[in-house]
Amino acid sequence: MENEINLQSYDKVIIAFSGGKDSMACFLEVLDAGVPKEKIELWHHCIDGKEGSKLMDWACTEDYCRKIAKAFGVPLYLSWKQGGFEREMLRENSLTAPTMFEDENHVVHQVGGTTGKPSTRLKFPQVSPDLSVRWCSAYLKIDVCAAAIRNQERFQNKRTLLVTGERGEESKARSKYAIFEPDRADNREGKRITRTVDHYRPIRDWKEQAVWDIIGKYKVRVHPAYYLGWGRVSCAACIFGSKDQFASLAQINPEQVENIAKYEDKFGVTIKRKETVRELVAKGTPYKSMKKDDIKDALTEEYDKPIFMDIWILPAGAFGESCGPL
């Protein structure tokens, strides 16, 4: 990795940290490359926001990320779209919500949401590689991250590296992403404010085996959803979820699935277009690997398992159906 890019030349290295295996692999790869921990920050984007919505994500994810950061001795900063996924989805002839983010002192700041053109969504993001219709990635992650960088003076006149975990094995579109390029928050040629921000995808060409190898090397206990049988950890109710994943979620958290189904009824437009979430559940088979202790871990907001394992065990979801972006 160091042959491709001089990691030591950056003042800060931000890891976009979802809590999933690929962002974990990015973090561990940066550590392996010798980047000092005092330069590293984990940034977690809260998909449901922090205003009470619990529509899409795993309950444990935020605290799991927090415990990972604590175990490794690096800071974790949160950012989110006010009202999260649910508010953005319910937007009707209105502006997108403000972006919220924590600064280096964990003080929450609010930016945006006051200009632009009012518009309407009233439907779920659609299963598509086009981020204009699969708006959850763009509005709840990419734009939020860029806004948090642009609106903090500590990144001005500094060199910042944003690291994300897209892998080409996941999709044809991702295989074409640049490994290294200027980030959208970059402003190195600015006349009033200069800000150098590069975007690095160190594991773009990794196979899944390499991801599990580096996690196993550090003996990190992964997100509970992997032990339940999920091959990819995004939202619990990810729009890319398979029939078996939705059937599994319906078995352990039926209220979450039913809330999504009710929105499909209300909108008259389903996530998958050709079938409803209820139909997916009916056709799917819940994972047999789901155990009570892992279910509790996944559905509880406070994560209390040790982060490091004495004997590392490959989770049930490894090499399973990933059901990720096209």
Q: In the chain, where are the structural domains located?
A: 7-222
pLDDT of residue 4: 66
Structure tokens at 175: 């295989």
How far is 51 from 88, CA to CA, in rounded Å? Answer: 13
**Contact at 8 Å (CB) between 166 and 174?**
yes
Whether the CB-CB separation of 83 and 53 falls below 8 Å is answered with yes
Q: Please give the helix or strand (H or E) that residue 108 lies within, else none.
A: strand 108-111
Tell me the C-alpha distance between 181 and 6, whole Å: 13
Using H for helix, E for strand and C for coil, what is the string for 247-315? HHHHHHCHHHHHHHHHHHHHHCCCCCCCCCHHHHHHHCCCCCCCCHHHHHHHHCCCCCCCCECCCCCCC
Q: What is the token pair recorded at 131?
A: 């981020």
How far apart (Å, rounded) are the C-alpha atoms in residues 131 and 273? 17
What whole-number distance in Å separates Cα of residue 255 and Cα of residue 238? Answer: 15
Q: Which residues contact 314 (CB under 8 A, 6 or more apart)?
A: 212, 216
Do 65 and 302 touch, CB atoms closer than 8 A? Answer: no
Instruction: Write out the chain's pLDDT in tens, 326 residues.
Output: 444 689 999 999 999 999 999 999 999 999 999 999 999 999 999 999 999 999 999 999 999 999 999 999 999 999 999 999 999 999 999 999 999 999 999 999 999 999 999 999 999 998 888 888 899 999 999 999 999 999 999 999 999 999 999 999 998 889 999 999 999 999 999 999 999 999 999 999 999 999 999 999 999 999 999 999 999 999 999 999 999 999 999 999 999 999 999 999 999 999 998 999 999 999 999 999 999 999 999 999 999 999 999 999 999 999 998 777 76
Fold for domain 7-222?
Answer: Rossmann fold (3.40.50)
